[in-house]
Amino acid sequence: MLSSSARRGAAVLLSAAVLTTLSACGAAPDPKSGAAGDAKSKVQPGAAVSVADFGSMEALVAAAQKEGQLNVIALPPDWANYGEIIKAFEAKYKIKVNSENPDASSSDEIAAVKSRKGQKRAPDVMDLGIAFARSGAAENLFAPYKVTAWDKIPAGQKDADGRWYNDYGGYVSIGCDAAKIPACPQTFADLLKPEYKGKVALNGNPTKSGSAFGGVYAAALASKGSFADIQPGIDFFGQLKKSGNFIPVESTPATVEKGETPISIDWDYLNAGYAEQFKGKGVDWKVAVPADGVYAQFYSQAINKEAPNPAAARLWMEFLYSADGQNLWLKGHARPVLLPVMTQDGTVDKDAVTKLPQVQGTPAFPASEELDKAKATLAEKWDKALS
């Protein structure tokens, strides 16, 4: 995601300093937190590991409404339809959602959880990159909770203890403005053609942005690399830079609309969103999932172990993993984790499915160690390849 700070002065130094001071000051625990349990429920909301612990769904809703609010962080309204999801949750349960810092990154979320331990403004729930879900679980920051649909989530997409589970994901795709580009590239191999000189961008810096990292990983798969070997992907972008095709400007809705990034490698749900957003504004945005580099990635949900609104946090999870919640993500062109199950039992929004970009082949996911190795390689080699 984007992050911005003031240019002048020692802005970066200061923000680093402020962050550390915050985490130093904010560690004082609030003794009242979690003490006010609902007398009717079997356990306190903060200790509930499933709906059964509340007694019934109605009891969960009642406990959540008693709290009356939910703190969320890092949910941009124009990302995977989060704007509508938040509104739908508020309307259905009459619970106020406090959305903080929509453009925050996964590490900002983890920092907020750590620095506001025991405070009322701590985030209740998080939407994290998979590496941060794993490291946060290892640091014991998340509460285990199994939603009603738990059994339907594939085993490879969840933590066995229920501390995190995948929510939605998408494929690395190539977005392209057909109004400016006569023949849109369909594969990574196409991107090397001289006709795309000065036109190919990524959504950010791959050492920072998850989607840009996915782009490099997909390029590796397209260039005889593997999950264990991301180097060919780095070489691919090095070649793209050398030929002048690659432009390092980060693609955003603004650069897409302006035509500065006429070809942008990004998640398919974001590219598909641009296609809708800029229809009729002189931008004819086409989305292709490259057949030579199929790479999909899911984000994960987790509940803060010390959530100030523990019942509302659990209700939010139940909502996200209900057919309603899953279909709302689908409406935002993301692929919810229960999509295969819902396609079988017929609860899926079929219109929304037809609008998803076409994909050839099935996605595979790198193992945890492969992902770590790829990131280490990228952090080490990216600068050199691009400069």
Residues contributing to the site for other proteins (CB under 8 A) = 1, 3-21, 24, 104-108, 111, 129, 131-132, 135, 138-139, 198-199, 202, 204-210, 213, 241, 247-250, 254-255, 258-260, 262, 375, 378-380, 382-384, 386-387
Smallest separation (angstroms) from other proteins to the CB of 65: 33
Q: How far is the CB of 295 from other proteins (least distance, A)?
A: 14
Task: Write out 338-355 in H/E/C secondary structure.
Answer: CHHHHHHHCCCCHHHHHC
Which structure tokens are listed for 33?
């937190």
Nearer to other proteins, 89 or 382 (CB): 382
- The backbone torsions φ and ψ at residue 329, rounded to the nearest 5 degrees and listed phi first, read -60, -45
Nearer to other proteins, 202 or 352 (CB): 202
Nearer to other proteins, 364 or 379 (CB): 379
Considering beta carbons, is residue 291 or 386 the nearer one to other proteins?
A: 386
Residue 133 C-beta: closest distance to other proteins, Å: 10
Q: CB nearer to other proteins: give 152 or 208.
A: 208
Q: Give me 11's structure tokens.
A: 């802005």
Q: Which residue's entry shows tokens 């689908």?
A: 330
Angle between helix 57-67 and 310-320 (nearest 10)? 130
Compute the least distance from the CB of residue 363 to other proteins, in Å. Answer: 19
Residue 10 CB, shortest distance to other proteins, in Å, is 5
Nearer to other proteins, 196 or 321 (CB): 196
Judge contact between 310 and 124, C-beta under 8 A.
yes
Q: How far apart are CA 163 and CA 140, in angstroms?
A: 9
Q: Which two tokens stand for residue 44?
A: 């306190």
d(CA 384, CA 22): 35
Give me the least distance between CB of 234 and other proteins, in Å please.
Answer: 11
Q: What is the smallest separation between the CB atom of 235 and other proteins, expressed in angstroms?
A: 15
Return d(Cα 89, Cα 78) in angstroms, integer. 16
Quick one: 94 or 242, whose CB is closer to other proteins?
A: 242
Q: Provide the minimum distance between the beta carbon of 52 and other proteins in the complex, in angstroms, as a whole number.
A: 30
Q: Kindly tell me which of 260 and 324 has the beta carbon lying closer to other proteins.
A: 260
Instruction: Report DSSP state, residue 26.
Output: T
3-state class of 138 per DSSP? helix
Nearer to other proteins (CB atom), residue 58 or residue 372:
372
> Given the complex with other proteins, which of 45 and 233 has the nearer CB atom?
233
- Tell me the closest approach of the beta carbon of residue 357 to other proteins, in angstroms: 22
Instruction: Evaluate whether 267 touches 172 at the Cβ level (below 8 Å).
Output: yes
Is the separation of the CB atoms in 122 and 116 below 8 Å? yes
Cα separation values, 335 from 134, 297, 343, 366, Å: 21, 10, 12, 18
Query: Collapsing DSSP states into helix, strand and coil, what is residue 207?
Result: coil
Q: Give the CA distances from residue 27 to residues 22, 50, 234, in Å, rounded to whole numbers and listed in that order.
A: 9, 29, 40
The CB-of-16 to other proteins minimum distance in angstroms stands at 5
According to DSSP, residue 325 is labeled H
Amino acid at 2: L
Rg (CA), the chain: 21
Q: Are 33 and 122 in contact (CB under 8 A)?
A: no
Bridge partners of residue 99, in order along the sequence = 72
